[in-house]
Amino acid sequence: MKIIVIGAGKVGCQIAQTLSSENHDIVIIEKDNIIQQSAQNSLDAMVILGNGANVLTLEEAGIKKTDMLIAVTSSDEVNMLACMIAKQFGVPKKIARIRNPEYLHTSILSREKLGIDFAINPERATAKEIVKLFKSPINVSQVQDFAEGKVKLIEFNIEKYFPFLNQQLKNISFKYPVLVAAIYRDNKIIIPDGEEKIIVGDNLYVLVEKDNFLGLNEFFNEKPLDMQNVMILGGNRIAIQTALILAKLGINTKLIERDKEKCDKIAELLPHSLIINGDGTNIDLLKSEGIETTDGFVAVTGYDEYNLLVALLAKHLGTKKVIAKIDRSNYIPILEKIGVDAVVNPRIITTSAILQFIRKGEIVSLTLLKEGKAE
């Protein structure tokens, strides 16, 4: 299949790398000269320097014989225009990353009129992932649904109190039917057989039926988590989308944002959430807002270091489950070892959703494990 990818950022490169490994013919369009050169050196694909919404550039990339166009630049407008042009050239499948939800919720700019077959909103997709983690009755790093939700894939961080340490999988007798699908150890993915042992520091990927999900808390001698209240740090789109979903679930939500003007705007969008204007790194503020008795805390500011710091602070002060949004994937293994319960990465979430759509038909469900090391 011939595929044009517009935008050689992290999402575009991840998609191009995955599809190229499956012997698809990939052409990438990137307008930034430095990024274009970097992509050309690291990917097994042709990388054209130019504007992905320019007809001449698209013709140079072979738009007339293209089976699919994937527009994932940082500009919603460029992504939409590229899909509109691709529609005129008769490209069968068009995918666009669109961040502004207003573009997708107006009859004037419907997906059909824009020629978009699949639109992904990274912020909303990330918010849904955060809520899914909060809804989990046990403390896990990742949870994904398969078989229309009947089966769950769960990621555990194995610590010294895990009851089956140093035992071969074939000798472990679980209370419920459980499949250890993968183990992440020493920066490598292991697809285990019965001889494999579970050791401290492993990330364990376990498949279990939805009805037996609650029973897994016995592994950790924990009571099921009952998420009644959540505190959110940051006033961006991810924070707002997360608060909106939590409010619909009846979960009390507080949102902390240091920008006063932004707080006023957020308050209009979130009538059922408490909006606090303040510095989220201030321990006195966190304590005064009840961080010590908060069930869930998520840091989703635009700064990885800030999210890491405050998430660890919230855990230290007594929050039951803490989540941090991290954009730099090389930070993720570190975070899992120092006390953050779960990490969300918008790039990985976006890439997973796009790959799932691309393979629709032959593959029903798909998720990426460990920044794309396994699927």
Rounded Cα gap, residues 263 and 234, in angstroms: 10
214-238 pLDDT per residue, tens? 767 666 556 667 889 999 999 999 9
CATH code for position 164: 3.30.70.1450
pLDDT score at 244: 95
**Which structural domain range is residue 169 located in?**
142-220
Confidence of residue 176 (pLDDT cuts 50, 70, 90): confident
Task: pLDDT band for 339, please (50, 70, 90 cuts).
Answer: confident
Of the three residues 220, 244, 261, the one that is the final residue of a domain is 220
Residues 178 and 84: their CA atoms lie apart, in Å, by: 47
**pLDDT, tens digit, 9 for 90 and up, residues 301-337:** 999 999 999 999 999 999 999 999 998 877 776 776 6
Is the domain of 75 the same as that of 146?
no
Residues 239 and 321 in one domain: yes
* Residue 113 or residue 157, greater confidence: 157
Q: Residues near 26 by Cβ (< 8 Å), separated by ≥ 6?
A: 3, 5, 16, 19, 20, 43, 44, 45, 46
Residue with the two structure tokens 């207003």: 102
Mean pLDDT (the chain) is: 88
Residue 107 has pLDDT above 60, yes or no: no
Whole-number pLDDT of residue 78: 94
Whole-number pLDDT of residue 196: 93
* pLDDT value for 336: 65
Give the pLDDT confidence score for residue 219 in this predicted structure. 61
In a domain, 368, yes or no: no
pLDDT digits (tens, 9 = 90+) for 137-146: 777 788 888 8
CATH number at residue 292: 3.40.50.720
Q: Are residues 324 and 310 part of one domain?
A: yes
Q: Confidence band (pLDDT; 50, 70, 90) for 87?
A: very high
Strand partners, 230: 253, 296
Instruction: Enumerate helices (H) and strands (E) in the chain, giving the number of each.
Output: 12, 17
372 inside domain: no
The answer as to whether 354 is a domain residue is: no
pLDDT at 108 over 70: no
Same domain, 181 and 232: no
Looking at the structure, do residues 298 and 251 belong to the same domain, yes or no? yes
Q: Which pTM value belongs to this model?
A: 0.83
Average pLDDT over residues 48-67: 94
What is the model's pLDDT at position 162? 79
Dihedral angle computed from the Cα positions of residues 63, 65, 68 and 73, in that order, rounded to the nearest 10 degrees: -20
Query: Residue 195 has what pLDDT?
Result: 93
Share of the chain above pLDDT 90, in %: 55
Q: How many Cβ atoms are within 10 Å of 117's Cβ, its own excluded?
A: 19
| pLDDT at residue 114 in the model | 77
Enumerate long-range contacts of 146-150, CB under 8 Å, 24 or more apart: 146/207, 146/364, 146/365, 147/365, 149/210, 150/209, 150/210
Query: In terms of domains, do 170 and 194 share one?
Result: yes
Tell me which of 25-34, 164-173, 212-221, 295-304 is least confident.
212-221
Question: How many whole angstroms separate alpha carbon 82 and alpha carbon 115?
Answer: 9
From CA 131, how far away is CA 357, in angstroms rounded?
A: 22
State CA 268 to chain mean position distance. Answer: 27
* Domain contains 211: yes
Last residue of a domain, one of 190, 220, 250: 220
* Residue 265 counted as domain residue: yes
Residue 23 forms part of a structural domain: yes
Looking at the structure, tell me whether residues 100 and 51 fall in a common domain: yes
Q: Is residue 358 part of a domain?
A: no
User: For the chain, first and last CA: distance in Å?
Assistant: 20
Q: Are residues 110 and 95 in the same domain?
A: yes
Predicted pLDDT at 212: 82
Kindly state whether residues 111 and 12 are assigned to the same domain.
yes
For residues 235 and 269, membership in a common domain is answered with: yes
Tell me the pLDDT tens digit for each residue of 279-304: 998 999 999 999 999 999 999 999 99
Answer whether residue 343 shows pLDDT above 70.
yes
Domain boundary pick from 220, 254, 274: 220
pLDDT band at 131 (very low <50, low <70, confident <90, very high): very high
Which pLDDT does position 101 carry in this prediction?
76
Would you say residue 30 lies in a domain? yes
Listed range (179-183, 233-237, 246-250, 326-330) with the worst mean pLDDT: 326-330
116 with 10, same domain: the answer is yes
Number of domains forming the structure of the chain: 3
Question: Do 83 and 184 have their domain in common?
Answer: no
